Structure 1
């Protein structure tokens, strides 16, 4: 039998103020999604964040790191580790920009495209697991999240 704390946590309803708090619920949902991502992508060196970054580079085509960060609404310095791991794995190529030698251009390699193709199925499984409790496989949730992001400039 579990501890008293486990029983309390499992049986406790949210305090009404938190149950009515969109930021609180969204924060909890993000944590739950991160735990689920760990289940789907945690057994390997490259994780969901690497998949996301490589999807963006694939979508944008060859691009500067600054442009990638802007498209992702991320700080360029936050991408350094992710992009370094993708580069080290041979999934991403960094070449000098012929118009500005101080900048690097990022591009998905053939190995990166193969890796992305293999991970798309895993990402679909992750999405399905995340949205399994919704009545429409998450379609309304995605629309609402997209609207929230659009209204806030892509946060």
Structure 2
């Protein structure tokens, strides 16, 4: 029978005890993609949207979200983050913003969730700041790209088109 790490002996939810795990440097990189209309992307690039500088606001939102991940995901450990970064690739064809986030810590558990939450909240912030001019924005391809550290070592996601 498979044992589940987040269930206690009675089948109830339980936070995993990581106190006996060694501290290692851990890095996680995630992405999200926000699909926009060409006109919306043009306004974003010119900082001409009604709510202002979209990418600066989305960067700050992503960093703030990473720092609060344990408050959002019930069994996620609160981490001391050494670094969080949010980067953007503005692509004209097809019109989209690719978000890449990176979270780094030294500790007994990984930072995958912090990187993923940062990407999702940065994407949601782009949506929020662009919705005045476009309602059919699509957020997709939220995924872990890479993780390093810990017992399981390195994970590298396969490349997508």
Please indicate, yes or no, whether the TM-score normalized by the shorter chain is above 0.5. no
Compute the TM-score of the two structures, normalised by the length of structure 2: 0.28
Q: Which of the two has greater helix per residue?
A: 1
Which structure has the higher relative contact order (CA within 8 Å, separation 6+)?
Answer: 2
Q: Which of the two has greater strand per residue?
A: 2
Larger radius of gyration: 1
